[in-house]
Amino acid sequence: MTSTNGTGTHGAVIADTPAQQDDTIVELRNAGKSYGNIRALHGIDLKVHPGRVTCVLGDNGAGKSTLIKIISGLHQHTEGEFLVDGEPVRFSTPREALDKGIATVYQDLATVPLMPVWRNFFLGSEMTKGPWPVRRLDIDRMKQTADEELRNMGIVLDDLEQPIGTLSGGQRQCVAIARAVYFGARVLILDEPTAALGVKQSGVVLKYIAAARERGLGVIFITHNPHHAYMVGDHFSVLRLGTMELSASRDQVSLEELTNHMAGGTELAALKHELAQVRGVDVEELPEEQDLTAPVAKTGEGAT
Amino acid sequence: MTQQAAPAVTPPPASGPKESDGRTTRRPLALRLLARPEVGVFLGAVAVYVFFLVAAPPVRDGDSMANILYQSSTIGIMALPVALLMIGGEFDLSAGVAVISSALTASMLSYQLTLNVWVGVVVALIVSLAIGFLNGWMVVKTGLPSFLITLGTFLILQGVNLAVTKLVTTNVATDDISDMDGFGQAKKIFASSFHVGGVNVKITIVYWLVFAAIATWVLLRTRYGNWIFAVGGNKESARAVGVPVTFTKISLFMLVGFGAWFVGMHQLFTFNTVQSGEGVGQELIYISAAVIGGCLLTGGAGSAIGPVFGAFMFGMVQQGIVYAGWNPDWFKAFLGVMLLGAVLINLWVSRTATRR
């Protein structure tokens, strides 16, 4: 699939490097972020490997968005360490993160609705030709490349001139993923890509997440849907109130446990006894605390 | 215009590679053309032209046509950068008085210090670009609506224009600079005219069309043009994919500054003096020309060729009313009607374009 004809400064296609043992691309060590006196996030440990999908789950306000903003360069962390290829980094703009191969597909899609599909595909990294005073967009090559890349990801569009706003949410999501893959992303951050989508469209997006993994990308998949996460994930981290509640690989956690952790986890189990005393609340189906066998991430602050 | 409904029964798309998704039907050419705002304003301009051709016989004369085009060009040269700025998602209320500020700077500096007028011209350019930069910088850094920021600079410039002119010349107008060094040369560049087939054509018409051609090329064929659409369409998305939003916005404001300088120099070298109280209200004319030309007030859509027709409509109406022998007070009423019509069409276009 790698379009080797996409030469020039653009479209640096991921080299097919064999997976090594210690190949962590992105690593967070005890990282955190405070906005003034509000600690949005603290004690976060996260590793991203090529060809693996790391799922970050959490309820609204758990700190998922803050986490990806740090990794994608929109915000800076205020505690701990953030390493890319083993080197500590501190991005001040998304451009720097992109240059390191970290691409983000945002919840609000990061597309410009009124612009044509092909212009959106190359936005910020346009192909040009000609010397400076008359340096211009290489429109034919961009259209052709966009069409090829979208077809490679299984997206077929009749008319790349149509404004991207006319596409469905799932299609736009897929265009954004295809763009990130084409522009040499090594790490793909997906911010709730299935949140606003229907069942079928979500399936399509999950398919492209798997496709991106097959192509050797490290994927950070942010979601609050444990079912979607469990379908593609290799590693699961559950965020709660700004800290890590759970960090487990696929063989350490079942879908049921994952769902329980999402739903409130250990706290809910403790609540079971209190609820049992209230009439009309059926607690039989709730898990006991000891049922939750998955390794619970230790929080640096000792917070519950 | 009707939205083409998809056929009620479509075969489910086959899995695997396919040549087309079969979900878009090609709309008739006429419909697609009409949906383009430039085409709409072109038809509007033709309608206004034909109307005055019939209603005001003097318009048919070549000289009056040149006059109408000249009137249009003075609006049109400024409407271009204002339109680009609008596509970039901002607007500049200080554009009208900034023209006068620039002319005043050049005029008073040259006269009071008895310098070559070119010194004044260059300093005026620097001042105009600085005003543009300041507008853009404040808008980008504060995140406040450009309406508020440039309303502020509009009021400041209006006051400074009057007060400083009175302070320096003890008059509301600047002194005549027509006998100063370099005046003839500068007049040749900014305010000359030439004859084509016995018709006296002002040079601003040529500048207007050349600038419009350059702006169209930049907008549609360069990265910078792509960025203008992007920062106007969705600033956050543009930033996230690596578009230099701050640079794009500030440079657009500076482009308006450049336009203000150019028109200011034209006025200075046409009339030899500058009335310090002028320019108020012109900014709304420029903005209206851009909106009538199909630029979306909220940014992200528009063209450079649309405002050319928009400015032509204004020039046509302004002069046409005079040639028809009507009360010129009707001009503003005409403007209002054209503006409202254009806004409604714009609204419809953006809704169709984003409809899922």
Q: CB-CB: which of A95, A109, A156 is closest to B242?
A: A95
Establish whether this prediction's ipTM goes over 0.85.
Answer: no
Cβ-contact A112, A164 below 8 angstroms? yes
Task: Compute the nearest-CA separation of A116 from chain B (Å).
Answer: 10
Average pLDDT over residues B258-276: 94
- Is B33 exposed, middle or buried, given 0-12, 13-18 or 19+ CB atoms closer than 10 A? middle
Half-sphere exposure of B223 toward its Cβ, with a 13 Å CA cutoff?
20
φ, ψ (nearest 5 deg) of residue A77: -75, 150
Residue B228 has pLDDT above 90, yes or no: yes
Question: pLDDT-derived band of residue B1, with 50, 70 and 90 as boundaries?
Answer: very low
Q: How far apart are CA B206 and CA B155, in angstroms?
A: 32
Residue A227 has pLDDT above 90, yes or no: no
- Of B272 and B24, more confident: B272
- Of B227 and A95, more confident: B227
Average pLDDT over residues A64-93: 86
Q: How far apart are CA B314 and CA A173, in angstroms?
A: 44
CB-CB neighbors (< 8 A) of B233 in chain A: 112-115
Torsion of CA B251, B255, B260, B266, to 10 degrees: 140
Put simply, the answer to whether A163 touches B353 (Cβ < 8 Å) is: yes
A7–chain B Cβ distance below 8 A for any pair: no
CB-CB neighbors (< 8 A) of B237 in chain A: 106, 108-112
Q: What is the pLDDT of residue A290?
A: 56
B354–chain A Cβ distance below 8 A for any pair: yes
Q: What is the pLDDT of residue B11?
A: 41
- Of A219 and A61, more confident: A219
Question: pLDDT-derived band of residue A5, with 50, 70 and 90 as boundaries?
Answer: very low
Domain A1-101+186-304 of CATH type 3.90.550.10: no
Average pLDDT over residues B141-169: 94
Q: What is the pLDDT of residue B17?
A: 43
CB-CB neighbors (< 8 A) of A98 in chain B: 241-242
Per-residue three-class SS string for B230-268: HHHHCHHHHHHCCCCHHHHHHHHHHHHHHHHHHHHHHHH
Task: Compute the nearest-CA separation of A29 from chain B (Å).
Answer: 25
Torsion of CA B178, B184, B188, B191, to 10 degrees: 0
- Alpha carbon of residue A153 to chain centroid: 18
Residue B14 has pLDDT above 50, yes or no: no
Put simply, the answer to whether A94 touches B241 (Cβ < 8 Å) is: yes
pTM, 2 dp: 0.78
Q: What is the pLDDT of residue A128?
A: 87
Q: What is the pLDDT of residue A300?
A: 44
Average pLDDT of the residues of chain A:
78
Q: How far apart are CA A130 and CA A114, in angstroms?
A: 27
The amino acid present at B192, given as its one-letter code, is: S
Q: What is the pLDDT of residue B247?
A: 95
Put simply, the answer to whether B17 touches A154 (Cβ < 8 Å) is: yes
Q: How far apart are CA B240 and CA A304, in angstroms?
A: 35
CB-CB neighbors (< 8 A) of B353 in chain A: 113-114, 163, 165-166
Residue B137 has pLDDT above 60, yes or no: yes
B82: nearest Cα among B222, B205, B239, B211 = B211
Put simply, the answer to whether B229 touches A119 (Cβ < 8 Å) is: yes
- Alpha carbon of residue B83 to chain centroid: 5
A233: nearest Cα among A259, A256, A200, A209 = A209
Please, what is the Cα angle at A41 between A36 and A47, to 5 degrees?
Answer: 140
Put simply, the answer to whether A114 touches B19 (Cβ < 8 Å) is: no
φ, ψ (nearest 5 deg) of residue A105: -105, 110
Put simply, the answer to whether B230 touches A163 (Cβ < 8 Å) is: no
B325: which 2 tokens? 């022998």
A123–chain B Cβ distance below 8 A for any pair: yes
Q: CB-CB: which of A104, A122, A165 is closest to B353?
A: A165
Q: What is the pLDDT of residue B102?
A: 96
Name, of A25-34, A198-207, B4-13, the range with top average pLDDT: A25-34
Average pLDDT over residues B216-231: 94
- Of B218 and A249, more confident: B218
B351–chain A Cβ distance below 8 A for any pair: no
Question: pLDDT-derived band of residue A133, with 50, 70 and 90 as boundaries?
Answer: confident
| B74-131 residue pLDDT tens | 999 999 999 999 999 998 999 999 999 999 999 999 999 988 999 999 999 999 999 9
Residue A6 has pLDDT above 70, yes or no: no
Cβ-contact B169, B175 below 8 angstroms? yes
Q: What is the pLDDT of residue B132?
A: 96
A23: which 2 tokens? 């190949």
Residue A249 has pLDDT above 70, yes or no: yes
B226–chain A Cβ distance below 8 A for any pair: yes
Q: Domain coordinates of chain A in residue numbers?
A: 1-101+186-304, 113-183
